[in-house]
A and B are shown apart, each in its own frame.
Chain A
């Protein structure tokens, strides 16, 4: 990015020009805001990446916060500019941090950028700097601490949905109530109520499930946190599909969180701990692929090599692991379908989860798989590049704008007239369901895996349509 101005001036003296690259400043002699520079030497946002931005602005209309507020500071172009200011020596003020925090991390800007700016790398490095170097308010700290004591732990998440006594006994209730997390979680919990019945016991998946028919691959599978706690049937469906398509599936029971929420929120050390543990868990398993059915997790897993680049003990293993990571739809298309697809006459609105579409570039594969089901019609949602507002824990930290984005998405989904909304991320599913509730719409919801599973097993389409945003809570018990 150039800071040159044409030689020879000649432009009128209304103090409107830069004669050199020094900035003209109303405050006069003071060059910048007081305080130490925003970033230290440990992985600050890279100047060369910042300089890739040519200020064209193509990212603005795909950025959810710019769409909501119309302010440069809450747009990718503006955030990159703030990073540049920080690299120039501006301090990390509350205002600067707020703008970084408000970024959803949806990567729509990465998709839109014609110059190939790696905003995903930039925001990740920046967030990690913020977490280490910025003193958040006590309330903010407490809220975040509560979130991260809950979300990366499937057992604790299950307690939210299990018998009340267990919930209370765990001390979780006290934590959730005290930190102000409860009211923020209530919408999510309410949505969950309508989507899935409370489970008294979650069946544990076996450690190894053999392929049906000829074995074509050995895959490891991530059970996840929110997915395994709230949508265990999605995991079961995933296993069934993989085995039907000729994969041995390895599901170590002691696997933990992949660290996606942590790395997306700047908690690098925590994320690295989770990553090392997960790599260790699958150590020695000769898997061909590591399959993920949650978009947010998949995008994070594909960057384990970057996350652990500074750790000599893990760097190589992380790179090897990363190379095997596939979203479920990717691996199925790569292997090619062998299991017969039975008809499912249904109209589907397919929602691209940001971390699958933007971050991983996986858009064609899910559509191809869905279109491979006889009788199934895929309809496109308007403004597909715009995030639904879930964005990991962003909707918990920013409930109002998340609700506005959710409503936008809900209306776009409704406008397709489709019977079923399909997406590959539990967060999106819950957010869109909750938003549809709020705007009074109704649509059935399913994970891509559930649709494929229903087709392979020849289930009646009514079963897929039974889980909707506003259906009654009583339902036939799941098999």
Chain B
């Protein structure tokens, strides 16, 4: 074990086979329980010039590209727990290794929640913020980007830095939280997050309606958007070959939910239910398959659904498309046995359609044979500036090297 790392005693151990990241084996695993310990581990890693990847629950290891170098896995499992829950101020300070579900469990007794849908079971706070995953309710509540009001980060050089604070209203200094959110662990380790919370709604309901084609789905979605019902989510599910299901979630006080549900049923010609559909809040792919995130301007979502259908037909591999028609963020999944050529063709097609629609298509995860043939990230604006940011934070390029856009 390299000198500096060795000096940390039982904060670090040797890695095993199970510690590989996206198939890339690791040599060591660090398991700090506090920000100070994490700082010590990363300082040592810097001194020993080790390449680092952060791991929470490991639910998104196969997202992004595999790391080009890996020595140390920084495991956040022990960096867990709620530091402070100020219910009266609707904020919570929580350590990054805490599973989202556990956090929600701690907040619920006070009638509060972190209004962030976690798609993958077991996902930690840190991982969710680092990749900026989101679910159906992003339409009303925003994503990690909007809910994070403070963050503690350990830089690749081991220096601890805080940005934001514990109050929602805060414009002192740069919003580093935004930069860190969705940075795939390439700028440093998140150890603590401060979130703004929302009250748990007293009542909720879902109204669903199945339609034949994207155009009709689009009409219904537009009608809901215009209706002033303030939905928490408008989701669509378009499995291959079948119709499209539109589902609208409203939350609030019982009388209000009843009223709005009645309106929605009339508008959609649909049915109300307490239960979400089975597909709600899940990605349309399984581990080892190809998953894309495809975005568009709101009015162009039906066009994107149609493009996905076309692409599937043309390349003989129909995708499952699912996501937030209310935000313009959809996910597309292709089965693991789809021919890599076909997948590549579909990715290109979707990327073109998304670009025309004001959005992007990013391949979040794919089997190795597909990765060889596709550009995972697609065109990225401002890449030069992004490289300069990376250089400032991690001049030696040791953190999550190669995982992110532009080979960062």
A and B touch in the complex (CB under 8 A): no
Q: Which residues of A contact B (CB under 8 A)?
A: none
Q: Which residues of B contact A (CB under 8 A)?
A: none
